[in-house]
Structure 1
Amino acid sequence: MTWIKPSFLWMMYRCGWGLKEGQETVLAVEITREGFEWALRHACLSHYDPGVHADQASWRRELKRSPARVQWDPELDVRLQALPHRSLQLGLSGEAVRRYAEEWVVSVRDVTPLARRVHGLVREGELAAAHGLLPVETPYPADTDGELLRHLCP
């Protein structure tokens, strides 16, 4: 499974600011909106939720047939501490991985130097400076009728 993590700070948490073994290079991958929305439409939640699923058996069936899955994790601040709102993580498998690799990728940038600069500033207690270097992230402008995310929101 390949995971898309739209949150820079969540990615820094997962890769330890690019310092974890085997994760020393941090890449920012830009994909098409059409691809991202295809994945959302074909995704299911990564966990059973009684507010979304009829029962655990139906969730398991949906999970097996879905080429994408969503989990909602707490967004993080520059110290990588949890904030009160959630950030989407999008896992891809099977057909979704093929589409991602062959159709959706628009650009790939090495953001390792940025990760290291921000991490250095955080370690030095220069939180405002660190925050000033973060990529601008805004809430995703989902469809107006809510149909795109309804099946993914507990």
Structure 2
Amino acid sequence: MQPREVRAEYDHDSITVYQAFSSAIAKPALEHGRFVPPFSRTRMTWIKPSFLWLMARSGWARKPGQETILAVRITRQGWDEALSLAVPTDPDRRAFRSSDEWRAAFRHAQVHVQWDPERSLRGEKLEPRAIQLGLSRHIIDRYVDDWTLSIEDRTPLARKIHQHVQSGDLTRARRLLPKERPYPLPAQTAHQIAATP
């Protein structure tokens, strides 16, 4: 069974999550230090603490609509609250006794949790799973108004690392990566989101 561990860049009070947006959404967010229209509060938004997972997903900020990489620093209290409300997107037996039990929980979930293969610098899928959280319209106001501490443009960093990867200098690329480490989870939360104990 693939290991599922929350790894992130964090300190005593905050944790950094990543999102990729078009400049139409990212530019106003950077100017205001928080998400403002045209960012939508009425649809699910996905946040990911794994920088390399988002690099693979966004094609190193080259895919249409994902040209800007935002590092969103949010409160650990907010992140922990989101995890406490999260339900996996599949009926994992680590968290649920039956598909019916999972269906009942997922139907009312304010937060979705998905585990996807972590990625290498070259984009290859790795054995460990990386977490991403889907925040529904029922909780997105908390993310925007209460949890977000700052928003930073990490697009230049993404491009610099990618240049080193393309030139074959993985050592230099690795040195520039955000310092992600295992994030502590209460036993109950780890069970609930089907993380590796």
TM-score by length of 1: 0.93
Structure 1 Cα separation of the partners of residues 175 and 94 of structure 2? 38
Structure 1 Cα separation of the partners of residues 164 and 96 of structure 2? 44
Structure 2 Cα separation of the partners of residues 96 and 120 of structure 1? 37
Q: Kindly provide the CA deviation profile for residues 57-112 of structure 1, in whole angstroms up to 9, marking residues without a partner as x.
A: 22122112110011111211111112221211111102221110111001100000
Q: Give the SS at the match of 1:74.
A: strand
Aligned with residue 181 of structure 2, among 138, 150, 154: 138
Q: Which residue of 2 aligns with 1:148?
A: 189
- Unmatched runs of 5 consecutive residues or more in structure 1: none
Counting aligned pairs with the same residue, the percent is: 45
- Matched ranges for 1:93-108 at <5 A: 93-108=136-151
Equivalent AA in structure 2 for residue 151 of structure 1: Q
Structure 1 Cα separation of the partners of residues 95 and 67 of structure 2? 38
Structure 2 Cα separation of the partners of residues 37 and 70 of structure 1? 13
Q: Which residue of 2 aligns with 1:62?
A: 105
Q: Give the SS at the match of 1:30.
A: strand
TM-score by length of 2: 0.74
Structure 2 Cα separation of the partners of residues 31 and 52 of structure 1? 26
Equivalent AA in structure 1 for residue 191 of structure 2: R
- Unmatched runs of 5 consecutive residues or more in structure 2: 1-43
* Residue 33 (1) aligns with residue 76 (2): yes
**Matched length:** 152
CA shift at 1:152, angstroms? 1.2
Q: Over aligned residue pairs, what C-alpha RMSD do you find?
A: 1.3
Equivalent AA in structure 2 for residue 152 of structure 1: I
Q: Which residue of 2 aligns with 1:119?
A: 162
Aligned with residue 47 of structure 1, among 90, 97, 114: 90
Equivalent AA in structure 2 for residue 147 of structure 1: Q
Structure 2 Cα separation of the partners of residues 51 and 136 of structure 1? 29
* Residue 6 (1) aligns with residue 49 (2): yes
Equivalent AA in structure 1 for residue 194 of structure 2: C
Q: Which residue of 2 aligns with 1:23?
A: 66
